[in-house]
Amino acid sequence: MSTIALDTPEARTTGEHWPLARTVARIYRRPALVLLLAITGISALLVYRYHGWAGDVALRERVGAYSFGFLRINSFSTYGGRIAFLPALFAALLAGRATGEEWQARLTVLTLGQSISPRRWFGVRWSMLAALLTVLVLPLVVLYRLNVARADHLGLLSPGDQAQTIILTVGPVTLAYVVLGVAAGALAGTVLRNTWSGALAGAALTWVLTALLVRSRAALLLDFPALSKVHGTAPGGFLGMQFYGLLPCDSLLQNSLSRADYWPYQLAQSAVTLAVAALLALLAFRVLRRHTGNL
Amino acid sequence: MTSPSSSPEAALTARGLTGRHRRRGPDVLADATFQLPAGVICALVGPNGSGKSTLLELAAGVQRPSAGTVEVFGQPARTGHPRVAYLPQDRPLFRRFTVAETLCFAARANRGNWDAGMAQQVADISRFDRRDQVRDLSGGERTRVALAVALGKRADLLLLDEPMADLDVLARQELMGLLMAHVADTGCTVVMSSHIIAELADACDHLLVLHEGRVRLCGEIEELTDAHAVVTLPGGTGQLAGHVVVESRPAGRGTTALIRPAAVLPAAWQAERPSLEELVLAHLGTPTAPALALPADPRHQDTAA
């Protein structure tokens, strides 16, 4: 039996500026490994797709632009929708589950019984989770954008709904949605203090908020000065919302934008999303204060 | 029962303290008013469901009172208090952490306020394999680790909910010895719940008895036992009029009773000082007997941390 040589902070405090972050990183080690495996698999598919675009030029010559769009561009657009929103839903599930479980399993009695304030402990927990998921999702965003640039360079993205969606949907706003998911999960887990209802409510809240954001950005950003002149957007779907395979779909505003609007559009939309996330985090801390009596 | 005045030397002060498990549920602890001076070792005694764990959770700030107040060293109880350590009855720990990781977490969460040597001694770290996770430990081993987390924090008030439960006889003896040595070294205040009164009698100098959520007895053990007498007298209970009778029962041709004497007892009566166990059992067995809360002994305030 190999016995323990205790590795306490007293033994090595030098340079350890984020002591709680190390403990929180340990808590998230398993879900992070599972997520890393999943993202490695999706990244491999995107790398494979990247190398496939060159061969698709000949395919489009053979079958024509309409059939090519149906064969390739539609499926690539679906990838984009999933990359844009599924990480946010996963982030909400994970944050809601982790927060709800900590209350349900009474681990808060252990954690909040130490010499740390609830705000500091949960602040570190939630911000570490947001940072971890953002770092893990970043390669997907980069690889997807590389694919878009490659396909666009080869002239495979002809104007139309799908091409605009592909070009404009994924980017910094995808990472902002992940932060929004963590904030929604944190709020749901803190309010419900139950593992599974916290997880499910967090994901549901994220889905509703992303759908509302996707719909409302047509109105919010319509006359945004940094964007090109936008002409009337088409209403459609339930209350003007659009969905594709239950994920919020975005073509109302994007149809009217050009490639040059990518960064202003992404940054403006990210700012709106992060503002909503900050509001949710603020609410979560208020609920936490009500539960514990102090922050 | 008189309301205790707020004193900076009081470790724990409760005024009309009421607690519930659920917002609309019944009161588990009702209108509890008492004061524990700093430096005492207090036995918290009561049957199951009497409100012991609720009282400790309220004092640790884990629960919020539905009415009344609870103060720790003169300030409202709250979570994350650097001067309070709490060992809950269910010993919540991160299940996938190893023992070393658990102690490391506690050290990080109590930076500048952590006694690593004490924690390692209580956990008996050499008995564990480095890969042993908390979920693999026995109940007694979990108790050791949880107690190590509580005692490692250099707290001035230790709230221990059945700290020796799940431990074998040897471990009980060893850990109670460590706890007493720790208290002697630091002068900290301890509130310790248990069902084993004999165990508490050796270790504690203060007593707080709860029954059905209400305080039945509170004070220094010596003074509480001095305030009572077990009397054996010929005849019936009619002669006890004028004294507070906590419990009485026939004994042969006479009566044996535990009373709170209001005057000098007749010489014909055989009177003895009750043991702690007799005192507690009599009060728990007779819920209608008047409660007694003695004022805090100022001697303890000199030893306050």
Residue with tokens 């309010």: A191
CB B181 within 8 A of CB B21: no
How does pLDDT run across B121-151, given as a tens digit for each residue? 999 888 888 888 999 999 999 999 999 999 9
Closest-CA residue to B57 (of B28, B34, B35, B82): B28
% of residues, chain B, pLDDT over 90: 49
Q: Which DSSP state fits B129?
A: B
Question: Looking at beta carbons, which residues of chain A come within 8 Å of B109?
Answer: 19-20, 23, 111, 114-116, 121
Selected residue with higher pLDDT from A164 and B138 = B138
Nearest Cα residue to A169 out of A277, A90, A230, A88: A88
A182: which residues sit within 8 A by CB, 6+ positions away? A91, A92, A94, A95, A126, A129, A130, A133, A277
3-state secondary structure of B45: strand
User: Whole-prediction pTM value?
Assistant: 0.84
Which residues of chain A make contact with B86, given a CB cutoff of 8 A? 109, 113
Percent of chain B with pLDDT over 70: 94
Q: What does the pLDDT look like over A194-248, one tens digit per residue?
A: 999 999 999 999 999 988 887 776 566 555 565 555 544 444 444 455 556 566 6
Predicted confidence (pLDDT) per residue in B32-85, tens digit: 999 999 999 999 999 898 999 999 999 999 888 999 999 999 999 998 899 999
pLDDT at B264 over 60: yes
CA distances from residue A223 to A46, A127, A215, B56, B303 in whole angstroms, order as listed: 35, 33, 15, 59, 72
Is 50 exceeded by the pLDDT of residue A14? no
Distance of alpha carbon A135 from alpha carbon B288, whole angstroms: 65
Pairing of strands B229-234, B270-272: antiparallel
Q: Measured between alpha carbons, how far is B293 from B207 in angstroms, rounded to an integer?
A: 10
**Cβ–Cβ of B129/A4 closer than 8 Å?**
yes
Residue of A6, A120, A194 to mutate, testing the B interface (most B Cβ within 10 Å of its Cβ)? A6
Model confidence pLDDT, tens digit, residues A97-143:
999 999 999 999 999 999 999 999 999 999 999 999 999 999 999 99
> Using the beta-carbon criterion (under 8 Å), do B79 and A112 form an inter-chain contact?
yes
> Is the CA virtual torsion B235, B237, B242, B243 positive or negative?
positive
Q: What is the mean pLDDT of residues A150-168?
A: 78
- Least confident range of A114-123, A281-290, B261-270: B261-270
How much of chain A, in percent, has pLDDT values that exceed 70?
Answer: 78
What value of ipTM does the predicted structure carry?
A: 0.83
Q: What is the pLDDT of residue A211?
A: 83
State the count of interchain CB pairs (< 8 A) between A and B.
124
pLDDT in tens, B149-180: 999 999 999 999 999 888 888 999 999 999 99
pLDDT of residue A36: 95
Q: How many helices (H) and strands (E) does chain A have?
A: 10, 2
